[in-house]
Amino acid sequence: MAVYTRLGSEDMAGIIAAFDVGTLVSAKGIAEGVSNSNWLIETQDTNGEARRFILTMYETRTDISDLPFFLGLLDHLAAKQCPVPRTIHDRDGASYRLHEGKALALIEFLPGVSVSEPTAGQARAVGAALAQVHLAAADFPDARENSMGLKAWQELLGACGHDGLESIDPDLARLVEHELPLIASHWPSNLPRGVIHADLFPDNVLMLGDKVTGLIDFYFACTDVTAYDIAVTHAAWCFNADGTHFQPELSGALLEGYEAVRPLLPEERAALPILARAAAMRFLATRAYDLMNTPDDALVTPKDPMAFARRLQFYADAANEGIFVR
């Protein structure tokens, strides 16, 4: 949550002038996203109407060569009425521009707030919106490998090391060393694949009441097992923040909402227990690595890996596999 780059108002006005959106009226750096800088921009168009946008400057963690995939996906999904922001193309038709060596994109502003204590009605709406994205993305022509897949977790957790994981929690190394090979050997190879969001936490969903007004932050989107995206969303939505309490009514509503739009195949449903363990492992891996590798003076406070170790333990408990049975 930070603005990493300072952009003077003169630079900002020049950047906005490259788009056909009117003149710059306001620009506020916003504390959103962990790896890019974002500004909430207001312009006045030639009719005197106020218009709002998010200007994103991609910092070191986003590879510019991935932007055509990410931004093209937003346009593809928006054209199919998915609740995602569209990219504003510049006067030359480009979806992003370069400014002093950094890429930036102007993105539609969407109303809505991110819920922190979701209700079942909200979980149901998010499930339905996720299914809508999966269906709408079926004919998206581009593909992108999942840079945060199994191989990445193995590398990140390997870099943490047995002792490093134990330094986080005495039981963490044992849990990881038991689960990681098991997930690897059980990773399903027979399931439908497609474009997935891969990071659909409540922070990345804008809502007004029970209505999803925006799915945002597609910067982990990639081509992978479709049902894995449900597992990620399940891990992100169906527990309290520290992972100590599973919330069965949210779980039921999320799956019900999803299936109302895109019914699961029997083999997808059967794979959800192992995919859920994989999803928990994915966030455990990045959080453990970040915790051990964030300098003390960093702007971003590392998140607790144990919140996802607890989810992993929950999913791994055989008695809990029944939560995915209907």
* Residues that bind a second copy in the complex, under the rule CB under 8 A: 1-3, 8-10, 12-13, 24-32, 40, 42, 50, 109, 111-117, 206-208, 296-299
CB of 79 to a second copy, least distance (A): 23
Q: Which two tokens stand for residue 44?
A: 């006045």
Q: From CA 249, how far away is CA 270, in angstroms rounded?
A: 20
CB of 291 to a second copy, least distance (A): 14
Nearest CB to a second copy, comparing residues 4 and 187: 4
Nearest CB to a second copy, comparing residues 181 and 209: 209
Q: Which two tokens stand for residue 17?
A: 């002038």
Nearest CB to a second copy, comparing residues 79 and 298: 298
CB of 26 to a second copy, least distance (A): 5
Q: Say which residues have a Cβ less than 8 Å from residue 151's Cβ, sequence separation at least 6.
A: none
Nearest CB to a second copy, comparing residues 116 and 185: 116
Nearest CB to a second copy, comparing residues 13 and 159: 13
Q: From CA 195, how far away is CA 223, in angstroms rounded?
A: 4
**150 phi and psi, to 5 degrees?**
-50, -45
Q: From CA 133, how far away is CA 83, in angstroms rounded?
A: 9
CB of 38 to a second copy, least distance (A): 9
End-to-end CA distance of the chain: 39
CB of 258 to a second copy, least distance (A): 23
Nearest CB to a second copy, comparing residues 109 and 187: 109
Q: Which two tokens stand for residue 249?
A: 């009514």
**323 phi and psi, to 5 degrees?**
-65, -20
CB of 22 to a second copy, least distance (A): 12
CB of 65 to a second copy, least distance (A): 28
Q: From CA 237, how far away is CA 215, in angstroms rounded?
A: 14
Helix (H) or strand (E) holding 211: strand 211-215
CB atoms within 10 A of CB 289: 21
Nearest CB to a second copy, comparing residues 114 and 320: 114
Q: From CA 261, how far away is CA 254, in angstroms rounded?
A: 11
The DSSP code sequence of 33-98 is -SSEEEEEEEEE-TTS-EEEEEEEEE-TTS-GGGHHHHHHHHHHHHHTT-S-PPEEP-TTS-S-EE
CB of 4 to a second copy, least distance (A): 10
Q: Which two tokens stand for residue 255?
A: 């799956």
Amino acid at 92: D
Q: From CA 152, how far away is CA 179, in angstroms rounded?
A: 15
Nearest CB to a second copy, comparing residues 83 and 273: 83
Nearest CB to a second copy, comparing residues 26 and 320: 26
CB of 281 to a second copy, least distance (A): 26
